[in-house]
Chain A
Amino acid sequence: MYMARKLMILLLGLLSTAAWAQTDTTIIIRAVTGLKYDPPRLVIQPGRQLRLILKNDDDMAHNLVITKPNSRLRVVEFALALGDKGAQQHYVPNMDEVLAHTRIVEPGHADTLTIKLTDGEYPFVCTYPGHGYVMYGMLYVTRDPKRLPPADRDPNLPNAAPNAHASHTTAPAHPYALTFPAMYRTFMPDCGPAAIAVGLPAVNGGPQQSYCWDAGSCRLRYAWSGGFVDNNEHWSGKGQLLTKVVGEIFYREKTGFPWRIGSSDTVPEPRFLGYRLVSRYPEFRYRVGDIDVRELIRPVVNGRGFVRQFTLSPSQQALTFLTGTNDGMRYKASVGKLAGNKLILPPGTRQFTLTMTAL
């Protein structure tokens, strides 16, 4: 069916004039997570044959119904009123306000509608039960697209303005002002999925610094200065998109898990045990072998870098901590000997600091 139509279009295209081809507009629109169409706004010229392909990239079934201007909610309510007849007619009510529609499209599938429209604002909407109040968009048929409002301030679109562009708005993120140190467990880039972002207070008029700590592999992953994070995309919708780093990344860990126990070169498997807040600074706790490790990270007083304070449970085993090499940082330890990237701790060490400063 689809192939046949494609072939027909091809044949028509060959047989007819170039002008015919110009009047045909093909647009692919996707149904995506969060009950959204991507893009939510379509702009075409009047009088053209629109071939609209709905691709369903979501995990739920969707359709796409183009309605007469100002008729979206009416169509949605009539679709809901279909009751048990809904499914067999793809949740599309028989009414004049429906101008064109796809079938119900299962996840991973696609369907196509064609329509020719004159000037106007035509809503499109998913009439699958429960979706219609959230999942919609606007098809503008106009010769003058410049007169349309910017997409993020288009009152005809769902969620116009807020989340994705929250940096331009003054909407608070929380019912309180964020106090530094501040932390979020969230999805961070370049980290395992159990990530923790920590924003530190600026010291001595220096830059604000932040870091990403991986609660899966129990290690500092990277650090940046000049800001904390932007969670807006992660918070809006269902939570697939990552929280963004705000600022410039000046350090990336490339060594892997830093601890070695005894003389063995085997990389031990740590287990995350949580954290406590010390004047709002998180002190992470994890177990390596039978050793309990705590790590508290403070900003250095001058420039970019951290003072990492480690506290260890009693152990007779020799412990080695691997710092990075050629990672743009200078390392200094309060205890033990730093040879190359190996900090060898004297047996019985219970506490030490590792100061790392950007070169």
Chain B
Amino acid sequence: MTKPLFLVVLFVSLSAMVSMGQTKPVVADTITDYYEVQTIPMPAGLTAETGAMAFLPDGRLIACFHRGEVMMYTPKTKTWKLFAEGLHDPLGILVISNRELLIMQRPELTRLKDTDGDGVADVYETVTDQFGLSGNYHEFAFGPVRDKQGNLYIGLNAASSGAGIRDELRGRYEPLGRQGKMYSCVPYRGWIMRLTPDGKLLPFACGFRSPNGMFIDAKDRLFVTDNQGDWLGTSKLYHVEQGKFYGHPPSLVWKEGFPDVDPTTLPPATLDSMRVREMIAFPHQRLAHSPTQIVVDNTGGRFGPFAGQMLVGEMDFSRLLRILPDEVNGQLQGAAIPFFDNAGLRKGNNRLVFAPDGSLWLGQTDHGWAGDRGIQRLVYKGGTLLDVMAMHLTPTGFELTFTQPLDEASAKALTNYQFRRFYYKYHASYGSPETDSQPVPVTAVTLSPDRKSVSLTLNELKPNHVYELMLGDLRSAGKRICNRMLYYTLNQLKQKPQ
């Protein structure tokens, strides 16, 4: 609705400037000047609810779809070929070789092998199925991701109160885990599990509702996304460490030594003191509804200026999320900012993977929710857009670093930095209002000598709040700032150096 109007306004303002006889060319600076969306042709007859994507060493794409197909795509010839079929809702791939894959499907982690080299899988080995299944549709299984020691990690969704369980279950039934909205009545639902190289599946961390994104970075740190709902005021990104509890209570019934109580009946304050807070909150409706897979831009610049940064998919908005990590007192927190916001990308971006050529491939699904189907790719065309590169907490405010030097006048205008802070309640209800919402005035701004960083002094900093930053009309040599909305999750204050 608003887009045509926006284009008209842009056109009018451009022509006005031209008619005013300006000699300097005016750049119509939008994200599509730097990145292009391309749509991948899908085979006829495929219901392209994309559950998993990866690239093989030989450069072919491998993708799984909801109806159990595993298909290979050769980008050069634009042709699809079937590799395997009949899987149950496959949602993750780890490539071992051109002929061997690990695939996470609903009932198990499976090793698929093409042993006779005819291009089709003929061996399906069960790598692990040592976790429970109640038959509830919401018990999706995610992963695997692998650490440097060769451990694999998988994520097991909690079940949904919107549906029941089967008469026959796999795994021991625990009625205390059946309470609450989303539940965990069979082993390890709501857990991240570690599969050791010798094949033992061990509980690793709990308190998850729907951990649809799992990622291990170069420092062997595990990151997991989770979805807004009961006990999750908003969707979020966690830095996950062994033995810790991340806030969604029913999975606690499977924690060794946990007392025989329904965890959802514990006082929220008690649960709050047990949980580890998110690294980054993705404010509901503003930034995200359903975050999905996490990837890191490992292209060394072939995908633009954000090399080394994490991108997260999102189901309901035509955008991705870019992560601006910060480390305060040894703990990870940080900000999220839209990427390729409302610029022609379809929704439902469930799976993300970088191709060998540095383009970002996006596998889309709807699967009963809002979203789209198919596969698209984002290709970097060159140039440097004006965007926020980093956001760091200081003892008195924030330091923002940009991709380009800022025009001094716009950078130094206090009105170009509008802060508001709030927090999300931790409670059994679905979602949370933005609570204790207050504007936070900026009292000072200083621009670095290279004009790429601004240091902002805020009137007040409160821990355990989300800081919203709306940027004004920041400019850099005719370029406009690309994304104006950032959310910094301030768990810890930064101490002044002694």
Contact = CB atoms under 8 A, between A and B. Distances in A.
B82 A194 contact: no
Contacts of B170: 192-194, 216
A349 B238 CA distance: 54
Nearest to A186: B88
Interface stretch (A146-154, A175-183, A292-300, A336-344): A175-183
Nearest to B68: A184
A173 B22 CA distance: 59
Contact of B85 (A134, A172, A174, A231): A174
Contacts, number: 165
Contacts of A240: 136-137, 163
Contacts of B1: 77
Contacts of B68: 184-186
Contacts of A237: 368
A35 interface: yes
B88 A58 contact: no
Nearest to A56: B162
Nearest to A238: B368
Contacts of B126: 215, 272-274
A59 B227 CA distance: 12
A319 to B, nearest CB: 22
B430 A172 contact: no
A130 interface: yes
B33 interface: no
Contacts of A185: 68, 86-88, 105-107
A107 B368 CA distance: 17
Q: Pick from B106, B107, B108, B431 the residue with the most CB of A within 10 Å.
A: B107
A187 interface: yes
B322 interface: no
Nearest to B165: A193
B384 interface: no
Contacts of A129: 284-285, 289, 316
A185 B170 CA distance: 15
Interface residues of A, number: 53
B244 interface: no
Given A107-B430, A193-B134, A274 B88 contact: no
B151 to A, nearest CB: 21
B139 to A, nearest CB: 8
Interface string B56-96: 00000000001111010000000010100111110000000
Contacts of B434: 84
Contacts of A86: 285
Contacts of A108: 161, 181
B163 A184 contact: no
Contacts of B6: none
B82 A176 contact: yes
B186 to A, nearest CB: 9
B133 interface: yes
Contacts of B137: 33, 238-240
Interface stretch (B43-51, B214-222, B408-416, B440-448): B43-51
Contact of B135 (A131, A182, A193, A273): A193
A51 B87 CA distance: 45
A32 interface: yes
A277 interface: yes
A59 B69 contact: no
Chain A to chain B: the 3 pairs with minimum beta-carbon distance, closest first: A240-B137, A175-B43, A185-B88
